[in-house]
C-alpha cells in the first residue's frame, strides 16, 4: 500500500513540475510573469514531494518531512488568492498585499510545527530511540500539531471564499470571457479545496484510529483531482487558451454576440448620474477613436476603466445601456471597422499584418470576426474594395 501511495505522489509531483515549466513562459494581464501562479505550483510540487517522503518506507526524518508539509501548506491558499487577485484586477500583486495579520497567523501555524520537526531522527520509523521518549513531549507535539491543523482548517476556506468572490465579482462586472476560461481559474480552487478536505479527513482518521487503508483512498482523491486539473491547465496552456491570454484579447470567439436585452432591472439601483454618464461616453469615444486603445491586444475592461479614470461597473453600465452592447462587442466592432479602413488604405500590407495591427492575435480569429461582422472575408473585401460595415 505505501508503494502505491508513493507512485501516486510521484505522478502528481511530476505533473506539477511540468505545469510549472509550461506556465513559466506565460504572462499575466500586467505583462509580468505569472509569478504567483508559479509560486502556487511550486508549493504544490513541494507538498507532493514531502508527502512522498512521509509515506515512503525507506525515507528517514519522517517527522521533519511532515512538519515541513504542514508549514508549507499554510502558504498554498494565500499564494493562490494573490495569483487570482492579480489576474482579476489587472494589477500586479505583491507579498505586501497580504495583510500583516495574515502573516502572523501563518507564522504562528508554522511555529507550531517546530516541535514535530525537532523530533525527527535518521531512522525510518516515526518513533525515535526509546531513551528519547517522553510522554509530556509527545503530548506537546500532538497539541501543537492540532493547533496548526485548526489554523489550516479555518485559513483555507477563508481564502477560497475570497478567491471565489473575486471571480464572481468579475463575471458580474461583465469582464469575464467564455465559460472555458472561467473554468480554468476555478481549477486551482478545486485542487486546494480537495487537499483541505483530505487533510481534515486524515486528521479525523488519525484521531479516531480508523483503518490505515483509508489513507490510500485519501491519496487517490487528492492526486486524482490534481492530475485531472493539471492536465486541463497544461492543455489550455499549450493551446494558448489560459485566462491570462484570453482576457488580453477579447475576440469574437471568446464572447458570442448576444441580443441586447433590457438592462433596466440590472441597474435599477445604480447611482450613475447623467453628467457622469455623458462624460464616460465621451471618454470612451476618445479612447477608441482617437487614442486607439481598442487596437491594444492587451485591453480589458479593467485596463480601459483605469485609463478613463472611471469605475469598471459604471463603464460597463454605459456600454450596456447607452451603446446597447457589451465590452467585447464594442471592442471587436471597433477593430473590424479599423481593419476595413486599413484594408482599403494599405494594400501592400498582408491580412495578418492588419489583423495584428488592429488588436487580434491570430489570422484565424480575425477572419472569423471579420466574416461575422461584414459577411465576407478580409481577402474578398479587399478585392472588391467594398463590403457591408
Asked if residue 77 is part of any domain, the answer here is yes
pTM of the model: 0.60
Same-domain pairing of 37 and 82: yes
What residues have CB less than 8 Å from 196, skipping those under 6 apart? 152, 153, 156, 157, 160
Asked if residue 160 is part of any domain, the answer here is yes
For 338, the domain range is: 252-384
- Residues of the chain by 3-state class (helix, strand, coil), percent to 5: 70, 0, 30
CATH number at residue 261: 1.10.10.60
**Rounded Cα–Cα distance for residues 300 and 246 (Å):** 10
Question: Tell me, what's the pLDDT at 164?
Answer: 86
Boundary of a domain, candidates 246, 266, 297: 246
Asked if residue 30 is part of any domain, the answer here is yes
CATH number at residue 101: 1.20.1070
What DSSP letter does each residue of 100-157 carry, written as one string?
HHHHHHHHHHHHTTHHHHHT--SSSSSS--GGG--HHHHHHHHHHHHHHHHHHHHHHH
Boundary of a domain, candidates 246, 275, 290: 246
Same-domain pairing of 46 and 173: yes
pLDDT at residue 336 is higher than 50 = yes
Q: How confident is the model at residue 247 (pLDDT cuts 50, 70, 90)?
A: very low
Supply the DSSP symbol for 33. Answer: B
Asked if residue 389 is part of any domain, the answer here is no
Number of domains in the chain: 2
Same-domain pairing of 242 and 257: no
Boundary of a domain, candidates 185, 211, 246: 246
* pLDDT tens per residue across span 108-148: 999 999 998 988 888 777 666 654 556 667 888 889 999 99
Lowest mean pLDDT of 101-115, 250-264, 267-281, name the range: 250-264
**Rounded Cα–Cα distance for residues 176 and 179 (Å):** 8
Question: Tell me, what's the pLDDT at 246?
Answer: 38
Same-domain pairing of 111 and 216: yes
* pLDDT tens per residue across span 8-59: 889 888 888 888 887 776 665 545 667 888 888 899 999 999 999 988 888 8
Same-domain pairing of 54 and 115: yes
Same-domain pairing of 214 and 258: no
Same-domain pairing of 237 and 268: no
Same-domain pairing of 178 and 122: yes
Same-domain pairing of 89 and 143: yes
Asked if residue 106 is part of any domain, the answer here is yes
Q: Are the CB atoms for 232 and 187 separated by under 8 Å?
A: yes
Same-domain pairing of 241 and 261: no
* pLDDT tens per residue across span 296-312: 877 888 888 888 998 88
What residues have CB less than 8 Å from 300, skipping those under 6 apart? 29, 90, 175, 247, 248, 250
Same-domain pairing of 240 and 318: no
Amino acid at each position: 500500500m505505501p508503494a502505491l501511495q508513493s507512485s501516486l505522489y510521484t505522478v502528481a509531483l511530476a505533473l506539477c513540475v511540468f505545469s510549472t515549466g509550461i506556465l513559466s513562459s506565460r504572462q499575466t494581464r500586467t505583462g509580468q510573469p505569472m509569478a504567483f501562479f508559479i509560486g502556487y505550483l511550486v508549493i504544490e510540487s513541494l507538498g507532493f514531494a514531502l508527502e512522498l517522503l512521509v509515506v515512503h518506507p525507506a525515507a528517514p526524518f519522517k517527522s521533519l518531512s511532515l512538519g515541513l508539509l504542514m508549514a508549507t501548506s499554510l502558504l498554498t491558499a494565500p499564494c493562490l488568492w494573490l495569483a487570482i487577485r492579480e489576474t482579476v484586477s489587472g494589477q500586479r500583486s505583491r507579498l505586501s498585499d497580504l495583510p500583516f495579520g495574515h502573516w502572523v497567523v501563518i507564522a504562528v501555524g508554522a511555529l507550531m510545527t517546530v516541535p514535530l520537526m525537532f523530533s525527527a531522527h535518521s531512522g525510518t520509523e516515526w518513533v525515535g530511540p526509546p531513551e528519547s521518549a517522553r510522554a509530556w513531549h509527545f503530548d506537546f507535539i500532538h497539541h501543537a500539531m492540532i493547533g496548526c491543523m485548526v489554523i489550516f482548517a479555518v485559513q483555507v476556506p477563508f481564502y477560497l471564499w475570497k478567491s471565489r468572490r473575486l471571480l464572481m465579482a468579475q463575471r458580474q462586472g461583465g469582464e469575464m470571457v467564455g465559460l472555458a476560461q472561467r473554468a480554468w481559474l476555478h481549477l486551482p480552487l478545486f485542487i486546494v479545496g480537495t487537499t483541505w478536505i483530505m487533510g481534515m479527513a486524515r486528521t479525523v482518521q488519525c484521531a479516531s484510529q480508523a483503518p490505515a487503508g483509508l489513507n490510500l483512498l485519501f491519496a487517490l482523491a487528492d492526486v486524482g483531482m490534481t492530475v485531472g486539473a493539471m492536465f486541463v491547465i497544461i492543455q489550455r496552456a499549450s493551446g494558448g487558451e489560459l485566462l491570462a491570454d484570453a482576457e488580453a484579447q477579447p475576440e469574437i470567439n471568446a464572447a458570442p454576440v448576444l441580443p441586447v436585452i433590457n438592462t433596466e432591472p440590472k441597474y435599477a439601483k445604480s447611482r450613475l448620474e447623467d453628467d457622469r454618464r455623458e462624460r464616460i461616453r465621451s471618454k470612451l469615444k476618445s479612447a477608441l477613436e482617437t487614442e486607439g486603445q481598442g487596437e491594444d491586444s492587451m485591453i480589458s475592461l479593467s485596463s480601459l476603466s483605469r485609463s478613463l479614470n472611471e469605475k469598471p461597473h459604471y463603464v460597463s453600465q454605459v456600454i450596456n445601456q447607452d451603446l446597447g452592447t457589451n465590452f467585447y462587442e464594442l471592442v471587436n466592432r471597433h477593430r473590424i471597422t479599423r481593419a476595413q479602413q486599413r484594408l482599403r488604405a494599405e494594400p501592400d500590407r498582408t491580412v495578418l499584418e492588419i489583423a495584428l495591427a488592429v488588436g487580434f492575435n491570430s489570422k484565424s480569429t480575425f477572419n472569423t470576426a471579420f466574416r461575422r461582422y461584414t459577411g465576407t472575408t478580409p481577402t474578398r473585401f479587399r478585392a472588391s474594395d467594398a463590403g457591408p460595415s
